[in-house]
Structure 1
Amino acid sequence: MCLRLLFLSTLSFYLFSTDILYVTRSARISSAVEVNISFQENHVVMSNGIIEMTLTNPEGHLTGIQYNGIENLLEVLNDETNRGYWDVVWSPPESSGTKGTSCEVILETEDRVELSFSRTWDSSLEGKLVPLKIDKRYIMLRGSSGFYTYAIYEHLEEWPSFNLDNTRVAFKLRKDKFHYMANSDDRRKDMPLPDDRLPGRGEELAYPEAVLLVNPVESEFKGEVDDKYQYAIELKDLRVHGWICMDPPVGFWQITPSNEFRVGGPIKSELNSHVGPTTLAVFASTHYGGSDLVIKFGESEPWKKVFGPIFIYLNTVTDDEDPQTLWDDAKSQMSNEVQSWPYDFVESDDFQTTHQRGSVSGRLLVQDWFVNDEDYMPASGAYVGLAPPGDVGSWQRECKKYQFWTEADEEGYFSIPNILTDEYNLYAWVPGFIGDYRNSTIINITSGANIDMGDLVYEPPRDGPTLWEIGFPDRSAAEFYIPDPDPKYANSFLLKDPNRFRQYGLWDRYSKLYPGDDLVYTVGESDHTEDFFFAHVLRKTNNDTYEKTTWTIKFSLPNVNESEKYTLRVALASAHQSDLQVRVNDLNEVPLFLTGKIGGDNAIARHGIHGLYWLLNIEIPGIYLYSNGENSIYLTQVNNQSRFQGVMYDYIRLEAPHTSVININS
């Protein structure tokens, strides 16, 4: 049964992927040991003298990882299909919302082994398995304290349409060993057991992911809320995360050296590690984006994409050293992996190496006459990226191909290396300025290309001088008022900035602060950090229903030109099933502007501070406004079917008419 050839079998719903481990500082195993493969009846074992990993043959589920005297780091109580696996969530295109597998040795030398576990769809599997060819790969290197995993997904032109909602790699670690989790420097701690989430020990809250620990095994966790969304991280920061076993000291880390294969751009939030103990590498999902980030394939649509490689890194220290220093070592290893990208040891022709790729550089400037009417300003800290050709801001929702992002320096200079050959537009957005930049030139990246774009100028939306503004345009609601949580749900490690917004149940704090009358913000008197709630949500009533809410912005204008139009800019950091209506000076009139039902990023429920970005540009005829008197802009959140419907504002600005420019300059 177990030959180094192709074998057909049934591929389960799980499509496991193995991450990779690099040489750990204390492996204490000679790197002279060759990489070895051995075939058993239903398994394949890969070993390099530092780690040993066991995979099912031919499905490719990771069932065991042996390291540092621990026979198996993965949860032995779980079924073999539920320890380490690639996972695909999909559906036929009309719905809202798993035949044959082969194992092949791609490369086997004393220094490196690459294994392939693949499955090709055919018509007999229609409606049963996702219509993709999926080739899962595992790589082990000599002297490496870890392993790499990646996958190649392909949809052929003659295959049926479908929707791909989520794809990821998951690792389920032993709950009797791994109790300390690290997601970032300010979010690492001892964690409760998965048993603490079960009925009797845990109380399910507003949704299944959120559980109040009422009778945990370890009393120290009593009163905490466990919710995997409290550990979400923006992709630009999602490079390394994982778990530590204290006895013996062992770290299990998932390292992602590049985000080129992920969707949603640099600040999309994504899951990583959470109670289980579970470690994830999510490549595509609707989290913090909603249905806009479902990958939709039509009839006769060919597609191929490489997800990964990612690296699973294992490390250890001596018994007299602090196991928590394993986190610092993992961060150091992450830096090494980033510097090594793109890897030169991947055997697939679909993964391009450094010399096959190209680069783009340039400088981004901003021209906003109201901020600086004398010269261009450098786009300091701008996020600049290449994504498939599209409209302004389309990169946010593009999810089939690759994207390459960087952050400009203080002078606006940027450089994007290691870009895959293809055609792109250059996109950007600049903290401190509203809107999106898109360069209309189609950039054709060829092997070895080094394209200098020169000076590029972004002219953000602007019709007239700023009359007043609320907030700071950075696509986040973090600068607004974030309340203290209900003491019943407070997690002490999230009480301080920058994590205050991650507390459970903050959406209902609005009803406590404004039990009868809604928020009123007076320009020139109110302080947005204290008087502007971070999310425009609904009010909870005494009978546990939710009613619409209207926020009021009050302001005075010394002189109103009734024959001209004023412009209200409303930048949204998030929207979830929201219908936002805008009225001016008469709450009983027909709305001057309404969004209709928009958004589905669910960031309010998932402890996010932003989801997808929206920019609303609203013209206000001067005849609607009062001179030398108090004006009111009413923002009404109409949809009220659930507590999570609403928006987060990024920034609001009222501009004078364009004729004011002439008056100022004359």
Structure 2
Amino acid sequence: MNCLSFSESSYLSLAYSHFMLYILLKLTTQNQIDISMVPKQFPEMAESSLSMQYPSVRLQIQDQYVVMDNGIVQVNLSNPGGTVTGIQYNCIDNLLEVLNNETDRGYWDVVWNFPGRNGTKGYPGNPSKKFKGYLDRLEGTNLTVVVENEEQVELSFTRVWDPSLKGNPVPLTIDKRFVMLRGSSGFYSYAIYEHLAESPAFDLDNTRIALKLRKDKFRYMAIADNRQRFMPLPEDRLPPRGQTLAYPEAVRLVNPVEPEFTGEVDDKYEYSSEAKDIRVHGWVSADPPVGFWQITPSFEFRSAGPSKQFLNSHDGPTSLSVFHSTHYAGEDLIMKFGPNEPWKKVYGPVFMYLNSLTSEEGPNLLWEDAKKQVMNEVQTWPYDFPASVDFPSSDQRGNVSGRLLVHDRYICENPTPGIGSYVGLALPGDVGSWQRECKGYQFWTIANEDGYFSIKNVRTGVYNLYAWVPGVIGDYRYDVVINITSGLCVDVGNLVYEPPRDGPTLWEIGIPDRTAAEFYVPDPNPLYINKLYVNHPDRFRQYGLWERYAELYPDGDLVYTIGNSDYRKDWFFAQVTRKTNNNTYEGTTWQIRFKLDNVDESATYKLRVALATAHSSELQVRINDPMANPLFTSGVIGKDNTIARHGIHGLYWLFEVKVPGTHVVEGNNTIFLTQPLSTSPFQGVMYDYIRLEGPSPSNSSKNP
């Protein structure tokens, strides 16, 4: 028998009374009960409150279909394929595009290829022919009911890899799961991919969930508070209504069904987002007022860390949850599996959330409600309902905490808190390797104003701890490998990051934040505008900005003068190729002009160049002689394609250029930055930050 003090029992009685009043109010207004309102001392109240308002979850299995129904949402899936063929909600018989074939409505898929095909390019037997690889819709071959009771249904659609399977399926064993809970306005999906040791080698380029909604209803798209708009129709992209531009994804709407979109550019890459920002995105129907949202409570299963960019919602209307892709990274992020490499990973769960209004009050209320639902999902992560043993619960995970300090002795004598640092755990690797890591899980957080961080709910495994600090160049790695076991809490104490630095700053250009957003981004050509991004913080998400460089610098390349120029106005956001009069392209050379009052010829100066992205480019550095052999060359780097895809950053690069004192002079000096490769308008680099350091006073006979 439990014994409570008078104050404790009184408190619990009051909590119980308040919650029952809350339930009655919700029942009266016919609104969904938020189970997070249940007092923690009464967990059994959650089930009773749900049963008061909602019927039990029902499952119907037919020859070709299986239906999950909780009285709010009904989800129809193919049997045994596990393709989502229909979603019924709020008097809409199917939210998915009924004009599409049933296999092209809601599905998991992968893009893959055999190894050695130039990444995922090239047809087998004809490598010169471009091909994005094989598309596999991951159709299951067997259905298993994992959970079936009044509170939950969980279905498993599996396919075990077998070399005799037709259609070149990806050499993975697949387990797709769909979960419906009682009283939940939506459904969950996750999948377990496994590469068995006896499976053949292959390369994986992309994997995702795709849901294609009805174009006659879902016309309003929302990605963020400031990234929402009514969207054109998919037929507006097709000739003669649409004119394809420099690449197939970019289309100028010349004769759209609705004249308001005339002249706009539609391009799915204009709506990409960083992993850390993809919490909720979706679409709104006006008649009836219904919202369809994908909610991602954690990005632990996404590749390449918090700043990796992914597609989400775009014209179709299409709603995506991309777990792995090479976008904004290129071949560096192809998942390459050897013939004897066992591997398993759980992607998800993600939540397909539906909401509605009783009146036409506009999409904003549905968006705000979806954001509140995100908070509920995040608070309950990791979920306790997935039935797979491969998805660990909270008590099977561990935590890591500590404090990150930054010690740049040329800025401050003592270490200072790493305010706003991104601190994360990823598979062991080199410094900065997390941005190319894609086979394991990653767990990230942001340090507070005192540099303290806490990374919670970490899966068991072996990790390195990585960090980077906005405003500070480079990457940090804690050299001690961290082994997480169930229930383990690790305090790493005070960690001190000493960023690359050999001498005092003589001058700098930009802000070391791993993007080119602070530099000059021009207005777009009026013929190629997306109205959403006019007077918008993300002004770089306009088509064709690469062409503005030659227009702004018709007779010569960019020249930046230290002390006179302003990087916000005078440093173009990307060093791109120049289009010539005969429609070819040529490389470009930018100049940085600066003065030195004193020079120590016996010392070494350091030029630090941080790139926010590179695409099929080479960065050459020369000093004071544009015709000399390069003092430094990066070699050919990058396949990010960020310039074409409006991303403002891709993979981060940091180079150190040693400048002998004999290469600079007292008075005027010039650094020449050359990008010579020129077969495409999309070749080039985006700079993050450039700094020239003088010699260390301890190693210099003169102080410049």
Is the TM value for this pair above 0.5? yes
Deviations 1:88-125 (A, max 9, x none): 10000121314971001001011000000000012224
The alignment status of 1:69 with 2:102, answered yes or no, reads no
Residues 335-393 of structure 1 deviation map (CA, whole Å, 9 limit, x = unaligned): 110111000000000000000000000000000011112x1110000000000111100
Q: Is the 8 A contact 1:534 1:648 kept in 2?
A: yes
Instruction: Report SS of the residue matched to 2:164.
Output: helix
Give the CA deviation at 1:563: 1.1
Task: Sort the Cα spacing of 1:266 and 1:633 in 2 relative to 1 into closer, same or farther, 3 A.
Answer: same
The structure 2 residue matched to 1:49, chosen from 71, 81, 88, is 71
Range with bigger deviation, 321-330 or 400-409: 321-330
**Which of these residues, 338, 358, 364, is aligned with residue 298 of structure 1?**
338
Correspondence 1:172 to 2:194: no
Which residue number in structure 2 is paired with residue 4 of structure 1?
Answer: none
From the superposition, tell whether residues 501 and 661 of structure 1 become closer, same or farther in structure 2 (CA, over 3 Å): farther
> Conserved in 1, the CA contact under 8 Å of 2:607 and 2:691?
yes
Paired residues for 1:175-574 under 5 Å: 175-373=215-413, 375-574=414-613
Given the superposition, is the C-alpha separation of residues 597 and 126 from structure 1 closer, same or farther in structure 2, using an over 3 Å criterion? farther
Corresponding residue number in structure 2 for 1:160: 200
Q: Deviations over 1:452-478 (max 9, x none)?
A: 111000000001000000000000100
Once residues 663 and 597 of structure 1 are traced to their aligned partners in structure 2, the CA distance between those partners, rounded to angstroms, is: 38
Residue 111 (1) aligns with residue 133 (2): no
Deviations 1:165-194 (A, max 9, x none): 000000000000000000111110111000
Alignment-derived partner of residue 681 in structure 2: 643
Greater displacement, 30-39 / 454-463:
30-39
TM-aligned CA deviation for residue 661 of structure 1: 6.9
Q: Specify whether residues 100 and 340 from structure 1 end up closer, same or farther in structure 2 by C-alpha distance, changes over 3 A only.
A: closer
Compared CA separation, residues 302 and 123, structure 1 to 2 (3 A):
same
8 Å CA contact retained: 2:161, 2:171: yes
Letter in 2 for 1:462: R
State the distance in 2 between where 1:615 and 1:31 align: 58
Partner amino acid, structure 2, of 1:639: L
Contact 2:82 2:140 in 1 (8 A): no
Secondary structure of 1:330 counterpart: helix
Structure 1 runs not aligned, ≥5 long: 1-22
* Count of residue correspondences: 641
Distance in 2 between residues matched to 1:625 and 1:655, nearest whole Å: 13
1:15 corresponding residue in structure 2: none
Cα separation, 1, equivalents of 2:482 and 2:417: 23
Confirm whether residue 659 of structure 1 aligns to residue 697 of structure 2: yes
How far apart are residue 25 of structure 1 and its match? 8.2
**Are 2:140 and 2:157, in contact at CA under 8 Å, matched by a contact in 1?**
no
| Secondary structure of 1:138 counterpart | strand
CA drift at 1:292? 0.7
Asked whether the equivalents of residues 25 and 315 of structure 1 are also in contact (C-alpha less than 8 Å), the reply is no
Q: Which amino acid aligns with 2:670?
A: S
Which stretch shows the higher mean deviation, 545-554 or 94-103? 94-103
Structure 1 residue 663, shift from structure 2 partner? 7.3
Letter of the structure 2 residue corresponding to residue 492 of structure 1:
K
Contact 2:286–2:360 at 8 Å: present in 1 too? no
Residue 145 of structure 1: aligned partner: 185
**Contact kept? 2:549, 2:578, Cα under 8 Å:** yes
SS at match of 1:452: strand
Deviation at 1:324, TM superposition (A): 2.7
User: So what's the TM-score if we normalise by structure 1?
Assistant: 0.94
The CA deviation string for residues 536-595 of structure 1, in whole angstroms up to 9 with x for no partner, is: 101111111111100000001011111111100000000000011110000011111111
Structure 1 residues 661 and 234, CA gap change in structure 2 (3 angstroms):
farther
Instruction: Choose the corresponding residue for 1:38, options 54, 60, 64.
Output: 60
What is the CA–CA distance in structure 1 between the aligned matches of 2:30 and 2:649, rounded to whole Å? 38
Deviations 1:33-66 (A, max 9, x none): 1100111220001100001110000000000000
Displacement after TM superposition at 1:32 (Å): 2.9
Deviation at 1:26, TM superposition (A): 4.5
Matching residue of 2:114: 92
2:47 corresponds in structure 1 to none
User: For residue 93 of structure 1, what is the amino acid of its counterpart?
Assistant: P
| Counterpart residue type for residue 671 of structure 2 | I
Kindly indicate whether the alpha-carbon contact (under 8 Å) linking 1:292 and 1:397 is maintained by their aligned counterparts in 2.
yes
What amino acid sits opposite 2:538 in the alignment?
A: N
Residue 535 of structure 2: SS of its match in structure 1?
A: coil
Q: Distance in 2 between matches of 1:320 and 1:282?
A: 32
CA contact (8 A) 2:585 2:679 kept: yes
Deviation at 1:664, TM superposition (A): 9.8
What is the one-letter code of the residue matched to 1:564?
A
3-state SS of paired residue (2:546)? helix
Q: Distance in 2 between matches of 1:526 and 1:217?
A: 46
2:263 partner SS: coil
Give 1:506 shift. 0.4
Q: Distance in 1 between matches of 2:261 and 2:551?
A: 26
- Name the Cα RMSD after superposition: 1.6
CA contact (8 A) 1:131 1:159 kept: yes
| Shift in alpha-carbon separation, 1:546–1:217, aligned structure 2, 3 A | same
CA distance in 1, matches of 2:242, 2:259: 12
CA spacing shift, 1:320–1:433, aligned 2, 3 Å: closer
Do residues 101 (structure 1) and 145 (structure 2) align?
Answer: no
Sequence identity percentage? 64
Q: Which of residues 82, 94, 104 is equivalent to 1:82?
A: 104
Question: Which string of whole-angstrom CA distances, capped at 9 and with x for unpartnered residues, describes residues 426-476 of structure 1?
Answer: 000001111000001010101111111110000000010000000000001
Q: What is the letter of the counterpart of residue 694 of structure 2?
A: A
Q: What's the secondary structure of 1:123's corresponding residue?
A: coil
Taking the aligned partners of 2:699 and 2:564, their CA distance within structure 1 comes to 27
- State the alpha-carbon separation in 2 of the partners of residues 287 and 220 from structure 1: 31
Secondary structure of 1:395's counterpart equals helix
SS across alignment from 1:518: coil
Question: 2:599 touches 2:702 (CA, 8 Å); kept in 1?
Answer: no
Q: Distance in 2 between matches of 1:533 and 1:661?
A: 36
Shift of 1:237: 0.7
Shift of 1:323: 3.5
Distance 1:127 1:200, change over 3 A: closer
Give distance in 2, aligned partners of 1:442 and 1:48.
46
SS in 1 for 2:368: helix
Which letter maps to 2:352? I
CA distance in 1, matches of 2:654, 2:493: 28
- How does the TM-score come out when normalised to structure 2? 0.89
Deviation string, structure 1 residues 244-276 (Cα, Å, up to 9, x no partner): 001000000000000000011111111000000
Does the residue aligned with 2:540 lie in a helix, a strand or coil?
A: helix
Tell me how far apart the structure 1 counterparts of residues 582 and 276 of structure 2 sit (CA, whole Å). 42
For the 8 Å contact 1:26–1:315, the answer to whether it is kept is no
Q: Partners in 2 of 1:411 and 1:190 — Cα distance?
A: 42
